[in-house]
Amino acid sequence: MRRTAALTGLASLAALALAGCALIPGSVTSVDEPEFTNELAIPPLAPSRVVDGTRVFSLTAQDGVTEFRPGVETETWGFDGSYLGPTLRAGRGERVTVEVTNDLGEPTSVHWHGMHLPPAMDGGPHQEVEPGATWRPTWEIDQPAATLWYHPHPHGATEEHVYRGLAGMFLLDDDASRAADLPQNYGVDDVPVIVQDKVLDEDGQLELSDDGSEPGTLGDVVMTNGTIGAYQEVTTERVRLRLLNGSTARTFQLGFPDREMDLVATDGGLLDAPVRLDHVRLAPGERAEVIVRMQPGETTRLHSFEADLGGVVVPFAMGANDAFDVLELRAADELAPSPEPAWQSSAHAARDALHEDDAAVTRTFELDDRKINGRSMDMGRIDEVVDEGSTEIWEVRSIVPMPHSFHVHDVQFRILSIDGDGPPPELAGPKDTVYLEPNRTYRLLMRFDDYTNPDVPYMFHCHMLLHEDEGMMGQFVVVEPGQEAGTPPSRGHGGADTHQGHH
């Protein structure tokens, strides 16, 4: 059911270069919703119940109809609703179970992006949930407070499932985050902001181009939490925006035209200290928490500026010339005071810390058009075998002049260097996904603490979802030192033996 692309990757880039700007589908230079008159939808906090000390959530993937535009019914997918899903929230040290039920007409899966957990609970392509089945992963939250998210990961269909609307946030808390001087009133001054771009056809239906052209579908409509032209009322001096690029292909460069913001957290949690920035670049899958200062009675808009994609060819075709207003903030005439952002490190900080001196293994990953180290994803092949307890350096480089976004499951990594230089402040915190500027070497430091399983792999892949679906993914297992990797089943999405329902 996947596309049969006549042109992929570099071939399509060459075609684009010849075709010229006017013929590029999805290429826009500026899109301004004239009116920001729709109140921002805030995903509800998911209800949970505690059973034998375990916090139990339920999510049902389903199809439905969403009115992105008044009076226009768009067919969409969502969790427990027609589009996106509720926000899951849990604290460090808690045991959680999520009952994932698939009410779609085809297999899907739910991956807990950024979560440290056993591979069989990870929700990758080896944990597909059949239509009508319920999957019940359970694990202990054992990592710092962070803005994580969840989304499907069925091999070959991830782009479509996410694009149709299957995604949500998973917020983690810990002692440091609870005690922090940071806005933390969910939906009031601590606001989830899932940014996505879409193409709506003339009938108002979601359009996913199937010609395989780079870098995947770039939309000319931007929505936040599924709201087009959204505004958020602000009633405090500072507001915390938990930014998630939930798009399938587009890299956003988010900021405000009239003020700086304080970056306080990246993918895996809080930075050492706030960093003042004009804007932050987010590739698909990346997150950033920013604090925005507001004056009484004023209005401003979060904007996506023309993105610096760092040496890609035909940058306009990759969306680099596009600019969008994203979200309007409207301050009340009187604002409640907010503290200057500040926090102490957590009780677990020393244990969590990564040390370059501990790294005994260096692996190299070269990303080209759709392959990693010259190989295309094979569900039956283990690409890397990692010893439990080991600290490793992964040297990752895109060797083609096109955008990629590198994501590693199971761990949060630290960027040691980019072409030998230390990372900029916005890339110095905990990360699980990183935009790769072409032809630069990113040295990533990570540690694989536990959860050995020679038979069930974790994934590493490009988070530009067309690339992932077309094979830009590999598998690693964590084993006891000396143990050999097993052989995972090679079946894939839509295969004959995909029965993974765990009733």
Q: How far is the CB of 486 from Cu ion (least distance, A)?
A: 28
CA 174 to chain centre: 21
Cα torsion angle, 451, 430, 244, 295, sign = positive
Cβ closest to Cu ion, residue 61 vs residue 466: 466
Separation between Cα atoms, residue 35 and residue 404, nearest integer Å = 33
Question: Would you count residue 370 as binding Cu ion (CB under 5 A)?
Answer: no
Question: Would you count residue 397 as binding Cu ion (CB under 5 A)?
Answer: no
Radius of gyration of the chain (CA): 21
Contact with Cu ion (CB under 5 A) among 462, 465, 478, 485: 462
- 53 and 37 Cβ atoms separated by less than 8 Å: no
Helix (H, G, I), strand (E, B) or coil at 151: strand
Question: Would you count residue 396 as binding Cu ion (CB under 5 A)?
Answer: no
> Near Cu ion by CB under 5 A, which window of 40-48, 97-105, 256-264, 401-409?
401-409
Q: How far is the CB of 232 from Cu ion (least distance, A)?
A: 32
The count of other CB atoms within 10 Å of the CB of residue 272 is 11
Of the CA atoms within 13 Å of residue 148, those in its CB half-sphere come to 31
Question: What single DSSP character describes residue 25?
Answer: T
Q: How far is the CB of 9 from Cu ion (least distance, A)?
A: 9
Amino acid (one-letter) located at 201? D
> Near Cu ion by CB under 5 A, which window of 298-306, 383-391, 410-418, 464-472?
464-472
- 287 and 244 Cβ atoms separated by less than 8 Å: yes
Question: Would you count residue 464 as binding Cu ion (CB under 5 A)?
Answer: yes
> Near Cu ion by CB under 5 A, which window of 133-141, 247-255, 398-406, 423-431?
398-406
Q: How far is the CB of 13 from Cu ion (least distance, A)?
A: 13
Question: Would you count residue 404 as binding Cu ion (CB under 5 A)?
Answer: yes
Residues 466-495 vs Cu ion: string with x where CB under 5 A? -x----------------------------
Separation between Cα atoms, residue 135 and residue 380, nearest integer Å = 22
Q: How far is the CB of 328 from Cu ion (least distance, A)?
A: 32
> Near Cu ion by CB under 5 A, which window of 173-181, 315-323, 352-360, 454-462?
454-462
Q: How far is the CB of 402 from Cu ion (least distance, A)?
A: 7
For residue 215, is the peptide bond before it cis, meaning its omega torsion is within 30 degrees of 0?
yes
How would you class 295 by CB atoms within 10 Å of its CB: exposed for 0-12, middle for 13-18, buried for 19 or more? exposed
Q: Pick from 223, 249, 236, 220: which is nearest to 302 by CA?
A: 223
Q: How far is the CB of 436 from Cu ion (least distance, A)?
A: 8
> Near Cu ion by CB under 5 A, which window of 114-122, 274-282, 371-379, 404-412?
404-412
Q: How far is the CB of 393 from Cu ion (least distance, A)?
A: 21
**Residue tagged 């179970």 (tokens):** 97
> Near Cu ion by CB under 5 A, which window of 39-47, 196-204, 347-355, 456-464?
456-464
Question: Would you count residue 113 as binding Cu ion (CB under 5 A)?
Answer: no
Q: Pick from 13, 1, 172: which is nearest to 87 by CA?
A: 172
Question: Would you count residue 271 as binding Cu ion (CB under 5 A)?
Answer: no
Q: Do the strands 134-135 and 111-113 form a parallel or antiparallel pair, or are they unpaired? A: unpaired
Cβ closest to Cu ion, residue 108 vs residue 405: 405
**Positions that interact with Cu ion (CB under 5 A):** 404, 462, 464, 467
